[in-house]
Structure 1
């Protein structure tokens, strides 16, 4: 009889556990998506620190790929997604409209990608004794006249244009751009092999004060640490023209998402998240700070809050902001 009662009790407990509120949020604990890149972890650290200090919350990150963590958000196994790259999720807009998740705010929508050059290539750098090697370079089309400035090491009669990462969709778009603008006549499209190799090429050239031109994107630590200029391109018209390499890349809205009913469970914290709005430059600065100082995500989060007090104080009531300020080490 005891065994039967025990078995029945265990089954009941398992059933109730399956019916409980997702992510144990009733206890003041939230789960945030960690989709695998540094900037989302940085925003998680900022949001988490403010949640701990001002809203008496505990938090953790749930790692996984974008498809897995996004599905977990819809299934209410994850509470908050601080960096939803909406263009990378085909069903995002329809999911929001269907009420499968909450879109709380736009974290940033000024991200960019395209062909970059060190700003000293255009303007020079008096402190480093660097003269401008391409003072009239403004657009992708202008590159035709500067192939000698960006000479390829193995084929110096041609320029070297660093392409995007093999396997990324943007790589095909950049190849199309290289051909559409007629750069294939005077430039080699050089495949870097990986994002680490591309970053190393840009870093090495910049530290030596040498010219380089190639694909990059924001926000990244590299754009936060160094002064690069994005070359202008034809204005964005539509997705087809962009994919054919004819126009600039559109800026993509990167949102803050939450599971259904999160706003009911945490109305005050939800109001803070509805006000959470930063920028690509802000994010790049934080990533660069981590690289230069060796600071961890939490330390960098506190540094960013201190450096941007006006922005963060406007996201929450004064009494909450006072708690954040008093907790910063």
Structure 2
């Protein structure tokens, strides 16, 4: 099934991409992308790498923890990062200031916060303040890597709501595996979660209400080092357009998680099934790109 831009999105695509492709200045031809082990990060990074290569760049990938990626961005060791979830990672931007440039929105808006299985009779974070409720959940909140913005927000949430629990550092994959095990046994569990992930597509889960709105509305931004626009002008134009909807991201994650595809194969399938979206992103950034018939 092909996903297409419709309505306003399609109109923007037609206006943004000239009828005949015009090659823009490429600048430096090597780009290093930082990414994390999160499934959402590996998938969108694979797609971004594929498209950057299509418009003339040589791309190197570096997998690092979130905090190390920001350090590498600030020194120029990494050029760009497609998984800057905000507001969770805002503290990194506050600290590094003019060393980091926000290029565009990679995906979102998307939910993020504390997640429980749908069968757990809890609906709000406020309920976790009750020691008996928290004890029924094992006395702990299972998190992901320590440097993730979601983890920093969760520490703030636990203090604000006075939650008597231990926040356990883990990884995205380990958290998802623990949630799967608990879900299949119909056991209670609370984790730090976000969408899009395979969890959101596979399970009946719920995000606990956050009356204090500490988690806020999450968006996934593309950030780069401060000289990126000057060093890689064509890439900067592409990344300003490099945006996926949550459903598009979720589809790629299902291909990887359920169909056994690699992130690279899922990225290639996305390109093949979404020619209008790809034309909007890179149609005027090189030569030899064929405009989809549906846009003629």
Hey, what's the Cα distance between the residues in 2 that align with 1:78 and 1:216? 27
Any conservation in 2 of the 1:218–1:284 contact (CA below 8 Å)?
no
Residue 222 of structure 1 and its aligned partner are, at CA, apart by 2.0
Give the deviation of 1:61 after TM superposition: 1.0
What is the CA deviation profile of residues 33-82 of structure 1, one whole-angstrom value per residue up to 9, with x for unaligned ones?
134444323222111111222x1222111343333332332333322222
- Are 1:163 and 1:175, in contact at CA under 8 Å, matched by a contact in 2? no
Deviation at 1:116, TM superposition (A): 2.8
2:11 counterpart residue number? none
**Residue 232 (structure 1) aligned to one of 209, 212, 226:** 209
**Aligned with 1:77: secondary structure?**
coil
Structure 1 gaps, min length 5: 1-24, 122-132, 153-157, 237-241, 243-248
**Residue pair 1:105, 1:255 contacting (<8 A) in 2 also:** yes
Could you say which structure has the larger radius of gyration? 1
1:288 & 1:169 partners in 2: Cα distance? 28
What is the distance in 1 between the residues matched to 2:152 and 2:36? 19
1:115·1:213 contact (CA, 8 Å) conserved in 2? no
2: CA distance between counterparts of 1:200 and 1:233?
A: 25
Report 1:222-261 matches (<5 A). Answer: 222-236=199-213, 242=214, 249-261=215-227
- Which residue of the other structure, out of 152, 158, 177, is the alignment partner of 1:200? 177
The unaligned stretches of length 5 or more in structure 2 are 1-25
What does residue range 315-326 of structure 1 map to in structure 2 within 5 Å?
315-317=281-283, 323=289
TM-score by length of 1: 0.61
Are residues 1:84 and 2:84 paired? yes
Indicate the RMSD between aligned Cα atoms, in angstroms.
4.1
Question: d(CA) in 1 for partners of 2:63 and 2:285?
Answer: 33
Does 2:142 align with 1:164? yes
Structure of greater relative contact order (alpha carbons < 8 Å, 6+ residues apart): 2
User: Residues 222 and 284 of structure 1 are in contact (CA less than 8 Å); yes or no, is this contact kept in structure 2?
Assistant: no
Partner of 1:101: 100
Secondary structure of 2:282 counterpart? coil
TM-score, structure 2 as length reference: 0.66
Task: State the Cα deviation string for residues 188-214 of structure 1 (Å, max 9, x = none).
Answer: x58777455543342134345x36352
